[in-house]
Amino acid sequence: MTATILPTPADLSITPRDRRFGRDAATPRLWHGGRVEATAIYNALSATFPIGEAYFVESVRKFREGAPPKLAEEIKGFTTQEAIHSREHDAFNKRAADAGYDLSKLEAQVEKRLAVARERGPYANLAATMALEHFTAILAHQLLANPQHLKGAEPETADLWRWHAIEEIEHKGVAYDTWLWATRDWPRFKRWKVKTKVMMYVTRNFVVDRTAGSLELMRQDGVIGLKAWWLLLAYLWVRPGMFRKIAGAWLKFFLPLFHPWNEDDRHLLGAYARIASGTEPKRKVRRAA
């Protein structure tokens, strides 16, 4: 196997940081700067993580057998990181429930999507994981690159999201490399066709489901109709405009020579060294009123 096929940096370290967040105090209901739409989109994303990341692990693990040692090691780091993310987002989701949100509709929708995906066999599941891992990696990049996204958020909750983002960047190539390994005997065009089709399908569901999930949570805060749509779309597409800002990185996935590590963005971790090192001392968190 050559570096042109697997351009994951040789010195990459995928380091699981077994951190716990938000255990000392309740999380305020509108933890994201008191904003209904900002809280809603992050909560809607979090609702998908425990179930979704367990699915990623399950999909990649099916191809672990016989993988080259470097890839096998990366898969180990990836599965450990994702398992801890699931635990922390499960705890976060429980705090959202304690604050009064009902996430059950959102979770049921993820289960429904995954049930359909599982019917399609291991290669389709691996491709879906690869596509969704690209999403998490570009969201993570944007989240760390632009402080506007978490501006005003409750500090410990913001750290949870940054910690998750750091590890998503570290393991962003694992599902992709597993895919390259699993499909090493496929013709190039078939590989490209399948990954393109799956990315289009996954993107449609991601945008539709996260929008619907956010609107459902906003409804639970009493914000409905045109006002809810306006607030949410302006937040996602205009300011701070997360979806608009990841659009270019999303498009790169379709390039024939795409690989997640074509862009080495580990420099972003430096700005959050206290989190990235995993040695940050536990801070006292003010209890919500």
What residue ranges bind Fe ion (CB under 5 A)?
53, 82, 85, 136, 168
Tell the smallest beta-carbon distance from residue 93 to Fe ion (Å). Answer: 14
Nearer to Fe ion, 25 or 54 (CB): 54
Tell the smallest beta-carbon distance from residue 104 to Fe ion (Å). Answer: 22
Tell the smallest beta-carbon distance from residue 92 to Fe ion (Å). Answer: 12
CA atoms within a 13 Å half-sphere pointing along the CA-CB vector of 55: 26
Euclidean distance between CA atoms 118 and 196, whole angstroms: 19
Nearer to Fe ion, 50 or 240 (CB): 50
Tell the smallest beta-carbon distance from residue 289 to Fe ion (Å). Answer: 31
Tell the smallest beta-carbon distance from residue 14 to Fe ion (Å). Answer: 10
Euclidean distance between CA atoms 165 and 162, whole angstroms: 5
Nearer to Fe ion, 90 or 221 (CB): 90
Whether the CB-CB separation of 171 and 81 falls below 8 Å is answered with: yes
Residue 208 has a CB neighbour count (10 Å cut-off) of 11
Tell the smallest beta-carbon distance from residue 139 to Fe ion (Å). Answer: 10
Q: Which DSSP helix (H) or strand (E) runs through 40?
A: helix 36-61
Nearer to Fe ion, 71 or 232 (CB): 71
Tell the smallest beta-carbon distance from residue 172 to Fe ion (Å). Answer: 7
For residue 54, CA distances in Å to 78, 110, 263 come to 11, 12, 26
Nearer to Fe ion, 38 or 131 (CB): 131
Whether the CB-CB separation of 60 and 126 falls below 8 Å is answered with: yes
Nearer to Fe ion, 173 or 240 (CB): 173
Residue 167 has a CB neighbour count (10 Å cut-off) of 28
Nearer to Fe ion, 82 or 177 (CB): 82
Euclidean distance between CA atoms 169 and 137, whole angstroms: 5
- What's the gap between Cα 208 and its chain centre? 16
First to last CA, the chain: 57
Whether the CB-CB separation of 27 and 158 falls below 8 Å is answered with: no
